[in-house]
Amino acid sequence: MTDTALRPAVPGVTAGVGPVRLPSPGTRRALGHAVQHLVRTGATAGSVVAQPRHQLPPDLVCRLTELIGPPADWRGYRVLRGLFDGLGEPGPTPVHWSEPTGPADLPHELALALVGRLLGEVFGWANQQDGRLVHNILPSPGQETRQVGASSTLALAWHTEDGFHPERADFLLLACLRNPGLTGTRLACVRDIELSDEDAALLGRPGLVIDPDDSYEPDPREGDHAPGIRTVWGAPDARCVRYDPAYTRLLARDPDFAQAYARLQPAFDRHAVEIGLAPGDLLLVDNDVMVHGRSAFPPRYDGSDRWLKRVLVRSTGTGRPARPPQEELEHGFGQHRVRPARGTIPPLPTTDH
């Protein structure tokens, strides 16, 4: 099933179809005004997410919260079509994530951080993209065929974001700045797949280890001492998943476990949804419920390539499915989360509808 990323002729005020929501023009305009105010005050993504929720006008917080909705109602994901339409052109796509944020793409970083902050704690990793809180996801020379976000000509395989770590994100947010050809982001929900009781029991055993992906520099002292992890857990209607076959090591020769694990990929393929994000769109993903990937595409390296920005969020609310308690024993391969330093941001003015 493909979401074509087409906008309606007359933008909706509240809801679209299924998990797609169509922000009203007033909401997009109000968010744009709020972001431009923050730009003028010298805000950064770090200073924005360190502030309490009330730095946004209350009416805008209410509208954004309604658009986001309770994660339990997402069906695993939600698309906010055109939410960031009013933020302006982001400038040319960088050729590497490390290029500094400029005045053209700063509004997109701030808007993404603000929305992430409404869901919980925005964080980064000390050893990924220099500890930035907002990541650049774009193709880079030399990375074309690796299983990392900077790849291009090789499809990005199904995976849980940072599945190797017990403190991985609850929510993954992807904002589209540019996407020529509408290259698809692929999603599949573990609660949709046909998983027998026998396979669920096998995959509920701590039978494997997920190593950090190639965007990290793992601590070699930790790799040989990683405890086994569970791939699935929870009742069928509340099942969760932790999956990254490209970086997985099975811990024992167990043919039954290996076959059950191998059946997951075609099951996800059968229930895949492919979303062609357009500039201005925001995708929210529940990282415990969904696996995601990306279709292959030809890179250009001329400033017009696909460009997303990403934030990771840990939920600060209640009602999330509990992760296996054994995860508390994991060391996370020496990777540590980065939290924002607190600062002071002037209050925002009241915005229009």
Q: What is the pLDDT of residues 53-66, one digit of tens each?
A: 557 899 999 999 99
User: Residue for token digits 């529940």?
Assistant: 286
Residue 340 — pLDDT band, cuts 50, 70, 90?
A: confident
The residues, any chain, with a CB within 8 Å of residue 113's CB and separated by 6 or more, are 45, 48, 49, 122, 133, 134, 311
| Residue 210: strand, helix, or coil | strand
Cα pseudo-dihedral 183, 140, 174, 129, rounded to 10: 170
Burial tier of 16 (Cβ tally within 10 Å: 0-12, 13-18, 19+): middle
Domains of the chain with CATH codes: 8-338 (3.60.130.10)
pLDDT score of 12:
29
Q: Higher pLDDT residue, 218 or 145? A: 145
pLDDT score of 200:
97
Query: pLDDT digit string (tens) for 181-202?
Result: 999 999 999 999 999 999 999 9
% of the chain exceeding 90 in pLDDT: 77
**pLDDT exceeds 80 at position 204:** yes
**pLDDT exceeds 60 at position 306:** yes
pLDDT score of 138:
97
**pLDDT exceeds 60 at position 353:** no
pLDDT score of 316:
80
State the average pLDDT over residues 168-174.
Answer: 97
**pLDDT exceeds 50 at position 314:** yes
pLDDT score of 5:
37
Whole-number mean pLDDT of the chain?
88
Residue 289 — pLDDT band, cuts 50, 70, 90?
A: very high
pLDDT score of 214:
83
CA distances from 127 to 170, 287, 310 (A): 19, 20, 16
Short-list 266, 279, 254, CA closest to 202: 254
The radius of gyration of the chain from alpha carbons, rounded to an integer in Å, stands at 20
pLDDT score of 72:
87
State the average pLDDT over residues 309-330.
Answer: 90
